Structure 1
Amino acid sequence: MKPFKQLFTILTASIIMTIVSSCSSVNAPKNSPVAKNGWIQVRGNKLMNEHGEQIQLRGVATHGLQWYGDFYKDGNAIKQAAVTWGVDVVRLSVYVYEGGYLDNKELNPADFDVMIESIIDSCIENGVYVILDWHIHHPGDPNFYLKDAKKFFAYYTQKYGEYPNLIWEIANEPNEFGKTYKDPKKRITWPEVKAYADEIIPLVRKEAPKSLVLMGTPDWSSFGIAKGKDVNIVINDPIKDHNTAYVFHFYAGGHKFPEKLDYIASKVPVFITEWAACSWDLGSPNDMESTEKWLEVINKHKISWTYWNYAPGTSSYSMFSSRETTDEALDPKGDNITETGKLVYKLLHDKE
């Protein structure tokens, strides 16, 4: 009877795992990124899918909804990102200030919520991951609006915490600029950033215990490199959460330290939620020589990324020339696609 009991136990466990896996995908479309991978989990310095396989998500980031809400509002831009462009993940950038969620003179937070929920729902419908990005740029201290952040993430985790699609980027780019400080020498330190994370992550975990959380790092999410700091300040003082990765940003035309990312990614889990082949200067050209060096490191460690940005405009990093949202205008092989858009499409499909 022992062999029979053993077989029964194995079959029962297998059935349970199948049920759990099926439930965790929340009816994502067949063969979509979420259907194939389910919940994303941190294991050591890597991101894994729910089957225990290392995963590298590739996708695009929206621009601020206060400026480009009309481009995303009908849902087709997001649908085409998933269906035609083949992204795994969309980063939904919710600017906090700069005419954003908390200080827009014409739109209140509820108006932004309509746009945010529409984009999230479209991502869920199309089976792609969506990073809900609390986009702190000004002010650069995440603690400046701690109460607002708590309210924001409490609302959205209650609404979407059961979906494996959601990834929570709780602070985009901690930095010294903005409304908080009159002292130009003031810097946001990692202990201050970490204190914020210690407040927000438990709140996220209450409703989204299985979700991946992303935490920005000092000096525009450069692990302090942009201001000459030692990256080990972050690495040696990690956030104590089972499923948090660290945010890293770079602009290849201006940032020339891919070897630092190589070191960081060998120590801790990293997610690049913002990067571009140009520099942060709006008129700068794409620097493909530098980009290739960064991509070597990114692909070596299978670091997940979203490209800045999936929006129309005249800047070097804009992927579309006009704000049209017809299928033809969003076609990655069409006339409305910029050189950057063509580059991003190629990168999305250069998969091993």
Structure 2
Amino acid sequence: MGMLRWLRWGVACVACIAFLVGCASTESKTPVERHGALRVEGTFLLNEQGKKIQLRGISSHGLQWYGRYANKAVLQWLRDDWHIDVWRAALYLTEGGYIQNRALKQRVIDSIEAARDLGLYVVVDWHVLREGTPQAYKKDALEFFTEIAATYGHLPNLIYEICNEPNGKDVTWSGVIKPYAEEVIARIRQYDPDNLIIVGTPTWSQDVDVAAEDPITGWSNIMYTLHFYAGSHGKELRDKAERALAKGLPIFVTEWGTTLASGHEGPFIKESEEWLSFLKRHSISWINWSLNNKGEDSGLLVYNADREGKGTWKEEDLSPSGKFIRKILRKRP
């Protein structure tokens, strides 16, 4: 009888050790090693094994202003200390952005190559904002995404965000945004048949319910953008998201903030937690806005912290929003 107990204890110990080794092995893997190539099924993002996943990460601010953070050292710190899965490189078009300064493309390339080396997913964000309509620089978008897809489309970690926040009363989904998206998607798919493509929606990427009435067809692995700021947007916007999900529209929150939509005031912790619970419940991936040190409340760093872009931030380098987001990211969903 005693021998039987010892045998059972030994089997239990071996099983326990195997479990712990397995956990350690999983934790030591990078996000891309864990999940591989992504695909969309219904409203869910799936990994290579067909498991539902929720990516969580950080967005740059405009690369023309804060491109110094788009480097391997910072992304490695965000991966290892903050536990991000995904980095978003925000390529503004105007306000000193890509249309005026083509050299900014190198900041996107730096982001892609650092993410590849570090095993992070990377969102290439064509940051439509002040110009309102994505049609304004469609020719440039087609050329840009052709080059990115042709050069990097073979990587499993590349994600395309083809129009950040379309806006304006005449910038409709069916008349303006969808036709633009169809052209850009067709161009990307010539070189990259599989990687995730995320499409902006009307009214600063809030009208996902409108896109759900007339979704893009003919291609797989397409998702739609929802943006919110916890101090400005609440139940009404979540209700729009619920309606879109009910119609089968897959959503990816490529930008959200803990503040008002202006980037000021807050952080609104309770409201942010409400949103995070909603996103977790629906397995919706999210990216927080943004990594900058200009002193705005939605920025992750305090004013003038890390002016060189080195990472390795101390607690005193982080804004209240930065401390909150780091804490959330370090908890596995």
Matching of residues 57-72 of structure 1 within 5 Å: 57-72=55-70
1:247 aligns with 2:225: yes
The residue aligned with 1:334 is 315
The residue aligned with 1:324 is 306
The residue aligned with 1:144 is 136
Q: Could you tell me how far apart the structure 2 residues matched to 1:54 and 1:146 are?
A: 33
Q: Could you tell me how far apart the structure 1 residues matched to 2:278 and 2:266 are?
A: 22
2:172 to 189, 192, 196: 189
The residue aligned with 1:99 is 96
Q: Could you tell me how far apart the structure 1 residues matched to 2:150 and 2:54 are?
A: 27
Query: Any conservation in 2 of the 1:175–1:219 contact (CA below 8 Å)?
Result: yes
Runs of 4 or more consecutive aligned structure 1 residues displaced over 3 Å after TM superposition: 329-333
TM-score in terms of structure 1 length: 0.81
What's the CA shift string for 1:215-264, capped at 9, x where partnerless? 0000000016xxxxxx2x31121111211000000001011222332332
Query: Unpaired segments of 5 or more residues in structure 2?
Result: 1-26
What's the CA shift string for 1:11-41, capped at 9, x where partnerless? xxxxxxxxxxxxxxxxxx9711111111110
1:167 to 149, 159, 162: 159
Matching of residues 72-111 of structure 1 within 5 Å: 72=70, 74-103=71-100, 108-109=101-102, 111=103
Query: Any conservation in 2 of the 1:46–1:269 contact (CA below 8 Å)?
Result: yes
Residue 302 of structure 1: how far off its partner (Å): 1.1
Q: Secondary structure of the equivalent of 2:137?
A: helix
Q: Could you tell me how far apart the structure 1 residues matched to 2:146 and 2:272 are?
A: 38
Residue 138 of structure 1: how far off its partner (Å): 1.8
Query: Unpaired segments of 5 or more residues in structure 1?
Result: 1-28, 177-185, 225-230
Q: Could you tell me how far apart the structure 2 residues matched to 1:196 and 1:151 are?
A: 13
Query: Any conservation in 1 of the 2:260–2:266 contact (CA below 8 Å)?
Result: yes
Query: Any conservation in 1 of the 2:91–2:125 contact (CA below 8 Å)?
Result: yes
The residue aligned with 1:12 is none
Q: Does the C-alpha gap of structure 1 residues 30 and 347 become closer, same or farther in structure 2, counting only changes over 3 Å?
A: closer
Q: Could you tell me how far apart the structure 1 residues matched to 2:106 and 2:226 are?
A: 29
Residue 114 of structure 1: how far off its partner (Å): 2.0
Q: Could you tell me how far apart the structure 1 residues matched to 2:308 and 2:91 are?
A: 24
1:42 to 21, 40, 43: 40
Deviates further, 292-301 or 243-252:
292-301
Q: Could you tell me how far apart the structure 1 residues matched to 2:299 and 2:191 are?
A: 35
Report how many residues are paired.
Answer: 301
Q: Could you tell me how far apart the structure 2 residues matched to 1:75 and 1:337 are?
A: 20
Matching of residues 275-314 of structure 1 within 5 Å: 275-314=256-295
TM-score in terms of structure 2 length: 0.86
What's the CA shift string for 1:97-121, capped at 9, x where partnerless? 1110002xxxx31x21222211211
What's the CA shift string for 1:184-203, capped at 9, x where partnerless? xx421111110001100011
Query: Any conservation in 2 of the 1:84–1:332 contact (CA below 8 Å)?
Result: no
Query: Any conservation in 1 of the 2:306–2:313 contact (CA below 8 Å)?
Result: no
What's the CA shift string for 1:324-352, capped at 9, x where partnerless? 2679x734553211111111111112223
